[in-house]
Amino acid sequence: MAALAAALRAAHLDGLLITSLPNIRYLTGFSGSSAMVVVSERDLLLVTDFRYATQVQEEVGDLARVAIEAQSLWTGVWRQMADMTGLDVVGFESAYLVHRDFERLLNAGARWQWRATTDLVETLREQKDAGEIESIASAARVAERALERTLAGVRAGQTELEIAGALELALRDAGSTGFPFETIVASGERSALPHARAGTRQVRAGDFLLIDFGAIVDGYCSDITRTVIVGRATPEQRDVHDIVRTANERASALVRAGMTGKDADALARRYIEERGWGEAFGHSLGHGIGIEVHEAPRLARTTEAVLPERAVVTIEPGVYRAGWGGVRVEDDVVLGRDSATILTTFSRELLEVG
Amino acid sequence: MAALAAALRAAHLDGLLITSLPNIRYLTGFSGSSAMVVVSERDLLLVTDFRYATQVQEEVGDLARVAIEAQSLWTGVWRQMADMTGLDVVGFESAYLVHRDFERLLNAGARWQWRATTDLVETLREQKDAGEIESIASAARVAERALERTLAGVRAGQTELEIAGALELALRDAGSTGFPFETIVASGERSALPHARAGTRQVRAGDFLLIDFGAIVDGYCSDITRTVIVGRATPEQRDVHDIVRTANERASALVRAGMTGKDADALARRYIEERGWGEAFGHSLGHGIGIEVHEAPRLARTTEAVLPERAVVTIEPGVYRAGWGGVRVEDDVVLGRDSATILTTFSRELLEVG
């Protein structure tokens, strides 16, 4: 709260209307799907609806004042804001307020002066505290236990969906409260699709099997990818996997707070380019994880911003060859000034399963 | 497309910029997470990024022209729009364009005249065709098979999360390609929280066990709730369940296209009020389902809009008593002029499990 109050002062704002649910969760602990927050230097107000009356008490405690609305959250926001003193110039989240609601600010909210803001809370979220890092580390351990159990059961003839089902059950059993994104299980030539979902394809001996998934623990996400072989790997499969694994290990070992996102991306990209596969690594190296599975900072060719200390980011180089297959190896890493701590410990060797 | 072209003419628009992913999926079949569509009377253009180059070919076929962008989708949209003739007054989706992107329209897109629109595509989506209804019916059958298998395995001592895990595995095995929303498994007094997630609470003999979940088949969702008893039900539990079940059955039998959403809501609400539990039914009766698990139309106390034919909606009355427990019984129903077809066939009796 002190950091947010300082950010408001720096932006010459008396207050901020927060409509991003992950930002609301970060500031108040509330995890429901319907809420708005108004923050001023002295006050943190959360408006939600009656469905969450019990949950909000449990989750928020005395971190925020809570108002429960029977009908529209906006009605509650206007009423509560009218009672808050010293509120004149108020920011809103430009990336999390749709045009329809922006019009409400100009109409029902016309008595306040509105200023578009970006990333005020997101910037605070980049640097994790010890408790947040421990939650992400727990989510990584849960994901790895689930992966180990799942790979032990993989057999040729199973569909990608069956493998995804086994993985999700294992995640639940290991203690994940949900799935941060739709589990990717892509086999054979489908592993060349960087965003394939699990489908009805049956895995066959000789297939790459790419599994990209995560766990949620205490509201924080992990995000991990391993690519294995069903049966025995060919030398060509080993070569491509070795390039990606080496790119991953180099980047994880060398990435630091204080670098730009672009320089971090280059740690893996240069190596893949040197090995002749630069064109086949079409996405960026990684992204922050936390309450959201994609959050700031970014590790990408176009990112000039400097990576902050205690950000937790993914390191996920990949090589994709349409019609043949793809390999991605993804870990979660905490950035320090002089070192990086890898939270994911699952083997990066090319495993042969089934 | 003909219906959309007519809607554009009626709104005096030369074209429409579509940023809602479910609307994009409806119009083009594309299910990726990064796309924009520009539609005019003669043209349907989809812009996505390189990650989806293969997937977009498979899914869209010749339903739309496709442009693949290496960097920002917006760059692609401006370039493509500049090449489209007769495009002057262009609508955008007010409920699906954040303020930050609205500013892009006013700056980089200043050569076009922009008009805020609402619900142009959503209205088309309300009335399902035979193929869409069959997909939702399949998703309902998949959900029911998974529920049957899951309830057969429930035992006192399991946690809600373990039950959710078993349900999700059963959903995958039955053919669901994903989960339309976070599975709700709420036991004992937690069943009184209308939006409880699954948690670490162990179910005990005598508990209500409320399970609210769905399946996805061919991109379409089902949404079903059953509340059962672990062990033996008390007369009081039977009474409350009977009220909710009767409210559900009355509403499902009597709901029709041509009613207002408000009148439909009243079909269940009046009965629950007569039985003395009106205050305990705090949410609305139902909502449309389709590509999204919450879409138009709404069946709520405040909805004056008339329900269209061939909408598929949920009927989900509930009674919640804080500290004691709650009951919800939810079905999926296709609206006709003279009848309603209930897609969900799972028993609505108070089952005793474990």
Contact between chains at B55 and A195 (C-beta distance less than 8 A):
yes
- B/e letters for A125-148, b = 16+ CB within 10 Å, e = fewer, are bbbbeeebbebbbbbbbbbbbbbe
Contact between chains at A99 and B98 (C-beta distance less than 8 A):
yes
- B/e letters for A235-249, b = 16+ CB within 10 Å, e = fewer, are eebeebbebbbbbbb
Residues of chain B contacting A175 with CB distance shorter than 8 Å: 161
Residues of chain A contacting B169 with CB distance shorter than 8 Å: 165-166, 168-169
Residue-averaged pLDDT of chain B? 96
B193 — pLDDT class (breaks 50, 70, 90): confident
CA distance to partner chain B, nearest, from residue A322 (Å): 8
Assigned token pair, A156: 């040729």
Contact between chains at B95 and A96 (C-beta distance less than 8 A):
no
Quick one: closest CA in B to A281, which residue? B51
Peptide bond into A297 cis (omega under 30): yes
Contact between chains at A195 and B166 (C-beta distance less than 8 A):
no
* DSSP annotation string for A77-123: HHHHHHT-TT--EEEEEGGGSBHHHHHHHHTTTTTSEEEEE-SHHHH
B320 — pLDDT class (breaks 50, 70, 90): very high
Mutate to test the interface with A, among B18, B54, B201, B298 (most CBs of A within 10 A): B54
What is the mean pLDDT of the segment spanning B275-283? 94
HSE of B311 in the Cβ direction (CA atoms, 13 Å)? 31
Quickly list H helices, A107-187. 120-126, 130-152, 160-174
Instruction: Answer whether residue B116 shows pLDDT above 90.
Output: yes
- Put residue A352 in one of left, alpha, beta given phi > 0 → left and psi -120 to 50 → alpha: beta
Peptide bond into B194 cis (omega under 30): no
Residues of chain A contacting B318 with CB distance shorter than 8 Å: none
**Cβ B223 vs Cβ B295: under 8 Å:** no
**Cβ B322 vs Cβ A54: under 8 Å:** yes
Quick one: closest CA in B to A118, which residue? B100
pLDDT, residue A72, reads 87
Quick one: closest CA in A to B320, which residue? A51
**Cβ A315 vs Cβ A289: under 8 Å:** no
Share of chain B above pLDDT 70, in %: 100
Cβ pairs A/B, distance under 8 A = 111
Selecting from A98, A118, A168 the residue whose C-beta is nearest the C-beta of B97 gives A98
Instruction: Answer whether residue B261 shows pLDDT above 90.
Output: yes
Residues of chain B contacting A33 with CB distance shorter than 8 Å: 195
CA distance to partner chain A, nearest, from residue B92 (Å): 10
DSSP single-letter state for residue A183: P
Pairing mode, strands B184-187 and B44-49: unpaired
pLDDT, residue B309, reads 98
C-alpha torsion sign, points A55, A58, A64, A67: positive
pLDDT, residue A111, reads 97
Contact between chains at A50 and B282 (C-beta distance less than 8 A):
yes
Instruction: Answer whether residue B21 shows pLDDT above 90.
Output: yes
Contact between chains at A322 and B102 (C-beta distance less than 8 A):
no
* DSSP annotation string for B18-81: E--HHHHHHHH----SSEEEEEESS-EEEEEEGGGHHHHHHHHTTSSEEEEESS-HHHHHHHHH
Q: In angstroms, rounded to a whole number, what is the distance separating the alpha carbons of residues B343 and B290?
A: 13
Selecting from A54, A172, A302 the residue whose C-beta is nearest the C-beta of B322 gives A54
pLDDT, residue A194, reads 77
pLDDT, residue A347, reads 97
pLDDT, residue A168, reads 92
pLDDT, residue B52, reads 87
Contact between chains at B182 and A182 (C-beta distance less than 8 A):
no
Contact between chains at B92 and A103 (C-beta distance less than 8 A):
no
Q: In angstroms, rounded to a whole number, what is the distance separating the alpha carbons of residues A165 and B266?
A: 40
Mutate to test the interface with B, among A17, A51, A72, A99 (most CBs of B within 10 A): A99
pTM of this structure: 0.89
pLDDT, residue A196, reads 81
Assigned token pair, B217: 């088949």
Assigned token pair, A309: 């200390």
Q: In angstroms, rounded to a whole number, what is the distance separating the alpha carbons of residues B265 and B259?
A: 10
Contact between chains at B98 and A100 (C-beta distance less than 8 A):
no
| Ordered structural domains, chain B, with CATH | 2-125 (3.40.350.10), 130-353 (3.90.230.10)
CA B248 centroid distance within chain:
18
Contact between chains at A102 and B102 (C-beta distance less than 8 A):
yes
Assigned token pair, B251: 């509403």
Residues of chain B contacting A158 with CB distance shorter than 8 Å: none
**Cβ A121 vs Cβ A92: under 8 Å:** no
Q: In angstroms, rounded to a whole number, what is the distance separating the alpha carbons of residues B225 and B228?
A: 10
Mutate to test the interface with B, among A145, A169, A301 (most CBs of B within 10 A): A169
CA distance to partner chain B, nearest, from residue A177 (Å): 7
Quick one: closest CA in B to A180, which residue? B182
Contact between chains at A99 and B118 (C-beta distance less than 8 A):
no
CA A330 centroid distance within chain:
13
pLDDT tens-place values along chain A, 354 residues long: 789 999 999 999 999 999 999 999 999 999 999 999 999 998 999 999 988 888 899 999 999 999 999 778 999 999 999 999 999 999 999 999 999 999 999 999 999 999 999 999 999 999 999 999 999 999 999 999 999 999 999 999 999 999 999 999 999 999 999 899 989 999 999 999 877 888 889 999 999 999 999 999 999 999 999 999 999 999 999 999 999 999 999 999 999 999 999 999 999 999 999 999 999 998 999 999 999 999 999 999 999 999 999 999 999 999 999 899 999 999 999 999 999 999 999 999 999 999
